[in-house]
Amino acid sequence: MGLEGLEIGAPGPFLPPFDSVVRNARTVDRLGYASMAFPDHFAGFIPESLWTPDITPLARLQRSPHTYYEMSTIMAACAMATERVALVSAVTEPIRRHPVLLAQTFLTLDHISRGRVVLGIGAGERENVEPYGLDYSHQVGRLREALAIIRTVWQTHEPFDFEGRFWRLRGAVMSLRPFVPDRPPPIWVAAHGPKMLRIAAEYGDGWIPTLLSPKDYGDRLRAIFRYREEAGVTRPFTAALWNWCILNREPDVCWDLARHPIARAFALLCPASEWERLGHSHPFGPQFNALTDYVPMGLSRRAITDAIDRVPDTILSKFYMLGDADDIIKGLEEYVKHGLQHIILWNLTGMLDPSLTRESFAVMRRVLEYVRDS
């Protein structure tokens, strides 16, 4: 089976300096990526105690791993700098951003991009919520209500009421309409568990999870389609995915990079349930889930190094797509067999060894060319 119909996206540029953002956005557009995906973070996944020059030379260039441009602002800038590529939030949530503000923001981006924006949204991550004095409880129910409000805003320019557990609106109005009449931005929901998969089925135009094997991806996608059928939803639907990759023509180099402390730290995001399935115990406990439990700020150097020392190769091979173009293509074919249509590939190679950045993107270009020729 080939890769007919598959679209490949890349992370959108989200780090200073701004001149590099514009240049990189134009490069992504010119190379033929289908999308750029922008994180909505205050904090990153790497503890600052690990972000030191003896671990990564990038620490000399960027003082903190918790450095992000504000998502909607940088999406607008990249929309102005590009012509074809779609711009996806990957992903935002309705805790820090009121649902009506989200509806307005993404319609504004829809106009700036002339119809190229996608609202990627999920229930949020504890690390971006609780440290900032916000309530992370009931995040799934909050998301469901938020999506109902967003859909309502996009369907009417008249004042409306909404009576929910988390939001109560009285005569609320937001009359901005989509760039293309009656075609609001697609909504892609980041979902893994049953409740979230139902929300993706009922409210989503697409699905954008991460850290799923091809089989698990297919099982959950079939569940979404069952839920859509039960709810009578017939809207077109895009099956997307966010995956992390380490790219080099030499397998030994890929594995050396995968065992790098930064790569191992990212692999801690793999949930404890997956560690257990592969015969291992997660360093952060048997119930650990990065979305709901992980707050890296303040983790001591001892705590994080003890944890990453316990990351086995089986977890690294689960977390990363590793190898040369042929390896990545083979992995993509497995996902396509299970229904994948659009994948965001975050090439982590340059963060682990900046000297290998150029070669890793040469591998990525071969993958893009193969997909285009398909």
Q: Which phi and psi angles does 359 have, rounded to 5°? A: -65, -40
Question: Packing angle between helix 325-337 and helix 357-373, nearest 10 degrees?
Answer: 50
Contacts of 108 (CB under 8 A, 6+ apart): 72, 76, 176
Is 6 within 8 Å of 343 (Cβ atoms)?
yes
Query: How confident is the model over 194-213, as pLDDT tens digits?
Result: 999 999 999 999 999 999 99
User: 89 - beta bridge partners?
Assistant: 38
Query: How confident is the model over 228-239, as pLDDT tens digits?
Result: 999 999 999 999
Q: In a 3-state reduction of DSSP, which class is residue 269?
A: coil
Query: How confident is the model over 221-263, as pLDDT tens digits?
Result: 999 999 999 999 999 999 999 999 999 999 999 999 999 999 9
Q: Tokens 């692999």, residue? A: 267
Look over the chain and give the mean of its residue pLDDT values, rounded to a whole number: 96
- Cα distances (angstroms) measured from residue 362 to each of 30, 57, 249, 287, 369: 15, 22, 10, 39, 11
Query: How confident is the model over 12-59, as pLDDT tens digits?
Result: 999 999 999 999 999 999 999 999 999 999 999 999 999 999 999 899
User: 320 - beta bridge partners?
Assistant: 244
Query: What pLDDT score was predicted for residue 2?
Result: 80
- Per the CATH hierarchy, to which homologous superfamily does domain 7-250+321-373 belong? Luciferase-like domain (3.20.20.30)
Q: Which phi and psi angles does 245 have, rounded to 5°? A: -140, 155
Element containing residue 319 per DSSP (H, E): helix 313-319
Give the span between the Cα atoms of 196 and 65, in whole angstroms. Answer: 29
Query: 3-state DSSP helix/strand/coil percent for the chain, to nearest 5?
Result: 45, 15, 40
Domain boundaries, the chain: 7-250+321-373
Query: What pLDDT score was predicted for residue 374?
Result: 83
Which amino acid would we find at residue 74? I
Taking alpha carbons only, the member of 346, 277, 285 closest to residue 310 is 285
Categorize the per-residue pLDDT at 302 as very low, low, confident or very high, splitting at 50, 70 and 90.
very high
Q: In a 3-state reduction of DSSP, which class is residue 239?
A: strand
Q: Taking CA 342 as the corner, what is the angle to CA 337 and CA 345, rounded to the nearest 5 degrees?
A: 105
Mean of the pLDDT values across residues 314-342? 97
Taking alpha carbons only, the member of 215, 204, 210 closest to residue 237 is 204
